[in-house]
A and B are shown apart, each in its own frame.
Chain A
Amino acid sequence: MKYVLSFTVNGQPMETLAEPTTSLLDVLRDKLEVTSPKRGCESGDCGACTVLVNGKAVPSCLTVALTVAGSEITTVEGLVQDGQLHPLQRAFYEHGATQCGFCTCGMLMAAKALLDRNPSPTRDEIVLGMSGNLCRCGGYVQVMEAIEDVAGRKYEVKAADTRGGK
């Protein structure tokens, strides 16, 4: 049976109906037309569905929607402020951190959660913080560059990097 579900999404109060086993991902995409989180695996194995619930990164495909009633949900749609791209969005764009784009929204939300918690992460901390987000295009280095850029540090090319010189 359907239950009334209310929460805020990117600052906007929203209300809809959901069944007990409906995921937050399904509600956002199918009921509320918030389509930035992607349906990559529906088993918590890819990170493409990552959104923030009360500031914390969660796998929205594994989140039973009714359990986040009353919460503040943040998605990529909420990153733009006053018509300006969020620094992470700008950095992803400038560093070519998006190829097909399917993993990008999950990457952005995971990166935001990481930097909100730890504004100056080391490279290892970035790798750990982003460890839940897979990219089939293989664009990990540019993602790390972009995050290091926003964290205020220039990405250092280490000897083990195999991509061509910058």
Chain B
Amino acid sequence: MPNAEYFATTELREALRLLAERGDQITVLAGGTDLAPKFNCRELQPGALLYIGKLGLNYIIAKNGGLAIGAATTLEDLATSRLVLERAPVLAQAAAEMGNPAIRNVATIGGNLVTASRAADMPPPLLALDAELILVSERGERVIPIGEFFKRAHKTVRLSDELLTEIRIPSVKGQTAFVRHGRRKIFSCCVASAAVRVVLDGGKCADARIVAGSMAPTPVRCLGAEGVLKGKNLTSDLAGEAAAQAVGECKPIDDERASAWYRRRVIKVLIERAINQASGL
């Protein structure tokens, strides 16, 4: 657009003021790895860009036994952070397998969440960790459990005057695993992914999170599969049963990366593998 405007404030208050005034005309820009391809081919021609890279939202801090992560934290920082590797390793694993080194240097966790692609890699581990998202506006702050953040593909509950500022991970128990499948081993969009957390109490599974990514318009908490594991001793056979149950809870589509038929077969393997890895089987 010939009169497109650019804002890059260092003050959160100023950013919120802009969003309050003109949020529905403003495109919020973090790393830009999802938006820039659309600028380049003119699919998206924003009237105004608000760059949020200078708002001090790139941080990872210990909080209440868990983590507080700024929305503009890069994937590379997540993948290599000692704190994340200690307290939320499944998140570091997922970040490390996204894109490539150059993309990871600029792409952000917040951008991945707000873009809300079906194939997004940050949602499944965050769902497994019971994360909460902080949306801030001039009207105040909302704390959204991650499971309630996604409405459908490319649509979240964020309103146009709101900014996603922080991702909070509580202190969670259990062992986690993340397994991802793409058309190539690396540097390829996710075809299917599984993020699992199991809480073991004397050999029995006290609690579980089984999340499938790229298998529905939004990330899927496979509650039925979780129910298969709860209260039982974990075995490889049980992991297979839970994985089979999970397939039925997913709604995959055919797209340019894979068919629904293929995805159903792959996710069963990934979930079984992730349960086995998380449980040490």
Tell me whether A and B are bound partners. yes
> Which A residues form the contact surface with B (CB < 8 A)?
1, 3, 19-21, 23, 42-44, 47, 50, 56-59, 61-64, 66-67, 69, 110, 113-114, 128-129, 131-133
Which of B45-53, B190-198, B223-231, B249-257 sits within the interface? Answer: B45-53
> For residue B53, which residues in chain A have a CB less than 8 angstroms away from its CB?
67
The distance in angstroms between the C-alpha atoms of A131 and B184, with both chains bound, is 11
Chain A CB within 8 A of B281 CB: no
Interfacial residues of chain B within 1-31, with CB under 8 A of chain A in the complex = 2-6, 8, 29, 31
Q: Are B40 and A1 in contact (CB under 8 A)?
A: no
Q: Which of B3, B40, B41, B102 contacts A57 (CB 8 A)?
A: B102
Once A1-B4, A19-B4 are accepted as A-B contacts, the answer to whether A62 and B36 lie under 8 Å apart by CB is yes
Which of A42, A59, A69 is close to B102, meaning CB atoms less than 8 Å apart?
A: A59
**Which among B39, B40, B53, B186 has the greatest number of chain A C-beta atoms within 10 A?**
B40
Contacts of A42 in B (CB 8 A): 37, 40-41
A to B contact number (C-beta, < 8 Å): 92
Size of the B side of the interface (Cβ < 8 Å), in residues, is 30
Give complex CA distance A129, B37 in Å. Answer: 23
- A44 partner residues in chain B, CB cutoff 8 A: 33, 36-37, 99, 103
CA distance A23 to B42 in the complex (A): 12
CB-based contact A129/B6 at 8 Å? no
Residues in chain A near residue B186, CB distance under 8 A: 128, 131
Min Cβ gap B95→A in Å is 14
Q: How far is the CB of A148 from chain B (nearest CB, A)?
A: 18
A67 to B6, CA, bound (A): 10
Name the residue of chain B whose CB is nearest to the CB of A45: B187
Give the CA-CA distance A57 to B186 in the complex, in Å.
Answer: 17
Query: From residue 143 to 189 of chain B, which have CB atoms closer than 8 A to chain A?
Result: 186-187
Per-position contact with A for B79-117: 1 when CB-CB < 8 Å, else 0?
A: 000000000000000000001111101100000000000
Contact status of A129 and B32, CB under 8 A, knowing A21-B39, A43-B40, A64-B51: no
What's the least CB distance linking A126 to chain B, in Å? 11
28 contacting pairs across A/B (C-beta < 8 A): A1-B5, A20-B4, A20-B5, A20-B6, A20-B46, A20-B48, A21-B4, A42-B40, A42-B41, A43-B37, A43-B40, A44-B103, A57-B101, A62-B32, A63-B36, A63-B106, A64-B36, A64-B49, A67-B29, A67-B51, A113-B101, A113-B102, A131-B101, A131-B186, A132-B99, A132-B101, A132-B102, A133-B100
